Chain A
Amino acid sequence: MRLLNQTKAGFLKGAALAAALLLGLAAPAAQAAEGGVAIPDARFQHDRMLGTFDRAALQRGFQVYKEVCAACHAAHLLSYRNLREIGLSEAEVTAIAAAYQIPDGPNDNGEMFERPGRPSDRFRRPFANDAAARAANNGALPPDFSVIVKARPGGGNYIHALLTGYEDPPPAGVTVMEGMHYNKYFPGHQIAMAPPLNSDGQVQYGDGTRATVDQMARDVTTFLAWASEPELETRRAMGIRIILFLIVMGGLTYAVKRKIWADVH
């Protein structure tokens, strides 16, 4: 069956080539992780191939975001209604939304006004625009958090590392500029943001979890990972089903192929 051997060899070659192609692509991804220290793996359960989000961590993380980060960081692609997906009830979501004053208008007199938020509203932005955000933050622009985990090499591991990577005083021999802070994982190591999570118990968790700095960093990172990829769980669940289907389909197709080719060999 030389033909069979040939085709097998050909197929293997093809597979090897495809694999090599894909590996070649690791180049940009790996290179992007450059810029200093290796980022430790925080081992988030949602970073596993088939992992899902930890619902309790998501809700705690939202609390950290709301009470700490949201003072400066917008997440303008999120709506309050999205919080249903992290396990909050409709009443809770409505109450959370109603606690914010959302700019709306113009009214019949042509004036803008503020009204209590509704679940369909986008998260309220802390600043009216980027210029206002810079003005309030010594010229530094706090980035929007809607897709931050997708937008950083290293993803959630990087966010977690950054939040726990402050060192004060900085290592010997490093001069930190006025108004900057030393962070082991920030590219260039000098970050304008003061340590946002700075003391245990900064946030009072309702579920009794001890709010250590690391715990808060993990929780808020989990929340931000969900904010970046709210489709992640659906996507993986669908992926498993589709790939299983395709494997069966592949077996059947190959069997038919063998049958059809049987009289040629």
Chain B
Amino acid sequence: MATGLHDSSFTNPVVRWIDQRMPVFTMMQKEYGTFPTPRNFNYFWNFGALAMINLMIMIATGIFLAMNYTAHTSMAFDSVERIMRDVNYGWLIRYVHMNGASMFFIVVLVHVWRGMFYGSYKKPRELLWILGVVIFLLMMATAFMGYVLPWGQMSFWGATVITNLFSAIPLVGNSIVTLLWGGFSVDNPTLNRFFSLHYLLPFVITGVVFLHVAALHITGSNNPLGIEPKGPQDTLPFHPYYTIKDSVGIVVYLIVFAFLVFFTPNYLGHPDNYIPANPLSTPAHIVPEWYFLPFYAVLRAVPNKLGGVLMMFGAIAVLFVLPWLDRSPVRSMRFRPIAKWAFLLWTVNFFVLMWAGGKPAEGLYVVISRLSTAYYFAYFLVILPLLGKIERPLPLPESISRAVLRGGGPLPGGAAAKPMEKA
């Protein structure tokens, strides 16, 4: 072999020629072919692949929508309706994009939930987790700006309210808001820059997704037992076992997605966004898109402007430090009798926040929002650190194959009996 060429194991001459010079095939084979993956994944482990697919769907539909969208206050609304009426299959592409945003959040929320339940954020996967939270933040920014583009009433007033959050910053707040707007209200310059950024951010997300996956392939995946694979008997090659298992999940996901798109395309939207933006009249009840509701509830639970904004951002910021708040050495909640219930309660509480965020900020709803907000933070800041000290976890299984195969699996060979530690 010539010096400088990669030592390729592929025999197809074309593949081999490329692979020797740029070992993408070797890389794909290593990362998605033979990649040793714990053999005991449940279907929750589909949601990472689903999120990846969803991102690709959003980018594809978005590019084609942008070919027909006009980012101008006087034309944006009509250009979107023109896509719905006159552009060939425009309604399909727009409804996929619109509902794709909701599907993306459903998928990612389940993915995050899985990470929290099975302790996927714990050492050595802290950075993997942090990159995930960065993706989540970028998604929220992208979704928010995308919702502004049709220039309906909710677009306009959502943009106004959310950008005004920054006015809570002492001293420079108002200057920052003027900067964000490019004027003295949400107007054409705002719409234009939101369109520009809405087109840019998905590619930034793609970049961070690559880092997320790169980090994952260093540490390897967590699994429902939360114990590291101890040897070959605990793992399976990613292909074909998990490519096919992910495919099953993808088809189920597509069925749910298709149902939304074809039969209830506007169910998750708000009728007011089919009224063109009117800067002189705010709709009676403005609510953000459903995926912002829990955080919106946190914002409104605090009677102080700066406090509310800080708490809302804090609700996400706390996820960044989660790996250091949860000190328990046991990852999977299956073996944490108390934390499991505290977390399931946190999950229910998340839905309560979501529900409260969609209600008017008055009376009992405010009380419920405050209690829910309190528990949301208490789980992270009090319960988890405390349980790390006082909780007695259940005994962990000796190895994945033991647990899976009820002792029928091959014994760990020789020295491989101690847990894998990775950088």
A interface residues, Cβ below 8 angstroms from B: 2-3, 6-7, 9-11, 13-14, 17-18, 20-22, 24-25, 27-29, 31-32, 34-35, 49, 77, 82, 143-144, 146-147, 150-153, 155, 187, 228, 230-231, 234-236, 238-240, 242-243, 246-247, 249-250, 253-254, 256-257, 260-261, 264
Q: How far is the CA of A137 from the CA of B279 in the complex (A)?
A: 21
Assess whether A254 is in contact with B248, with CB atoms less than 8 Å apart: yes
B274 engages A147 (CB within 8 Å): yes
Cβ of A2 and Cβ of B81 under 8 Å apart? no
Chain B: residues with CB nearer than 8 A to chain A?
Answer: 39-44, 47, 78, 81-82, 84-85, 91-92, 95, 102, 106, 109-110, 113, 224, 236, 240-241, 244-245, 247-248, 251-252, 254-256, 258-259, 261-263, 265-268, 270-272, 274-276, 284-285, 287, 290, 293, 347, 351, 354-355, 357-360, 403-404, 406
What residues of chain B lie closer than 8 Å to A240, measured between beta carbons? 262
Contact: A27 with B251, CB < 8 Å? no
Give the complex CA separation of A7 and B403 in angstroms: 14
Are A31 and B43 in contact, CB atoms less than 8 angstroms apart? no
**B266 / chain A contacts, CB cutoff of 8 Å:** 150
Quote the shortest CB–CB distance from B306 to chain A (angstroms): 27
Q: Do the beta carbons of A238 and B251 come within 8 Å of each other?
A: no
B248 touches which of A150, A235, A242, A253 (Cβ 8 Å): A253
> With A and B bound together, what is the CA distance between A264 and B234 in angstroms?
11
Cross-chain contact B255 with A31 (CB below 8 angstroms): no
Main secondary structure of the interface of A (DSSP, over half): helix
Which label, helix, strand, loop or mixed, suits the secondary structure of the B interface?
Answer: helix
* In the complex, chain A residues whose CB is within 8 Å of the CB of B84: 231
Q: List 11 A-B contacts (CB under 8 A).
A: A21-B109, A24-B290, A24-B354, A28-B287, A31-B287, A187-B284, A235-B262, A242-B262, A243-B255, A260-B244, A261-B244
- CB atoms of B261 and A239 under 8 A apart: yes
Cα-based distance from A132 to B266 in the complex (angstroms): 33
Of A14, A28, A143, A235, which one neighbours B110 at CB under 8 angstroms? A14
**Least Cβ distance of A127 to chain B in Å?**
16
By Cβ-Cβ distance, the 3 closest A-B pairs, closest first, are A239-B262, A10-B42, A27-B358
Contact status B267-A29, CB under 8 Å: yes
The answer on a CB contact under 8 Å between A7 and B43 is yes
Cβ contact within 8 Å between A243 and B91: no
Tell me, in angstroms, the Cα distance from A18 to B244 when the chains sit together: 22
Contacts of A187 in B (CB 8 A): 284
Query: Do A6 and B258 touch across chains, with their CB atoms under 8 A apart?
Result: no
* Residue from B42, B271, B351 in contact with A6 in the complex, judged by beta carbons closer than 8 Å: B42
Please give the distance in Å from B292's CB to the nearest CB on chain A. Answer: 11
A3 proximity list for chain B (CB < 8 A)? 40, 404
Also in contact, A247 and B255, with CB within 8 A (given A31-B287, A235-B265, A254-B248): yes
